[in-house]
Amino acid sequence: MSKPKVVVVLPAYNAAATLKQTISEIPRDVVDDIILCDDASKDNTVDIAKDLNIGTIIVHQENKGYGANQKSLYAKAVSLDADIIIMVHPDYQYTPLLIPSMVNLIEENLYDVVLGSRILSKGALEGGMPIYKYIANRLLTLIQNILVGHKLSEYHTGYRAFRKEVFTQIPFESNSDDFIFDNQLLSQIIYHKFRIGEISCPTKYFPEASSINFRRSAVYGIGVLYVSIKHFLQRTGLFKFALYTHKK
């Protein structure tokens, strides 16, 4: 069996201070290509990306949002014939050193999607996650597991590996351009019965790491509940949403 093509995608926004460190930990014996999408950063993220010889750099001339950033990345990765696509945040909140393990779980056909979970161990609190975010994470995850009929340790990690079929079968382009994109995508993945695995992932919270404030966190939480209710209505047949249709 031939080696799968592994592509790492980096959704970047003001990542100049941490990009070099993130790139330095990406195992190039496993990863074939790196794609960075800069969402109109106000710093010199793009210049640093060029200096680091990142294979493909996409630049949004205006800020489109975290979800829109991912849409550009996944579409480009599929166009480059990636077999496994791994999203790593370039703010160094998650270590790229777990990439080989995540790739192996997909390559060996154990899972279609692998999430780096901050909750499986004590990584979240020990890494400095604010206590209000930890409590919200646990409450939202409990509600989501009930509504979507699945069981994950968390739905909110930004460290994710995917088999390419996720993006060729699910209409991810119709999702939000904002932070709720992550949750919509997981909801679609669960509904379409892709197999999801999780591995324990340490995380770091520090001034240079990207994070949304309390107000935006509250808006995100409301959005998560809305997505979960829609998933419940879809899976129980009470209502149908275009979000869950297969690509044609």
Map out the domains of the chain as residue ranges: 6-244
Task: Give me the pLDDT at residue 212, please.
Answer: 62
Task: Give me the pLDDT at residue 133, please.
Answer: 81
| % the chain with pLDDT above 70 | 93
Start-to-end C-alpha separation, the chain = 29
- What is the Cα–Cα distance from 111 to 108, expressed in whole angstroms? 8
pLDDT at 105 over 90: yes
Torsion over CA: 52, 113, 244, 152 (sign) = negative
- Find the helix or strand (DSSP H, E) in which 198 lies: strand 196-200
pTM (two decimals): 0.93
Yes or no: is domain 6-244 CATH 3.90.550.10? Answer: yes
User: Do β-strands 6-12 and 84-87 pair in parallel, antiparallel, or remain unpaired?
Assistant: parallel
- Find the helix or strand (DSSP H, E) in which 181 lies: helix 181-191
Strand order in the sheet with 33-39: 56-60, 33-39, 6-12, 84-87, 160-163, 113-117, 196-200
Q: Which residues contact 82 (CB under 8 A, 6 or more apart)?
A: 5, 6, 7, 33, 164
Residue matched to tokens 């509904």 = 191
Residue among 115, 87, 127 at smallest CA distance from 196: 115
Residue matched to tokens 């990690």 = 157
Using pLDDT thresholds of 50, 70 and 90, give the confidence band for residue 123: low
User: What is the average pLDDT across 71-78?
Assistant: 98
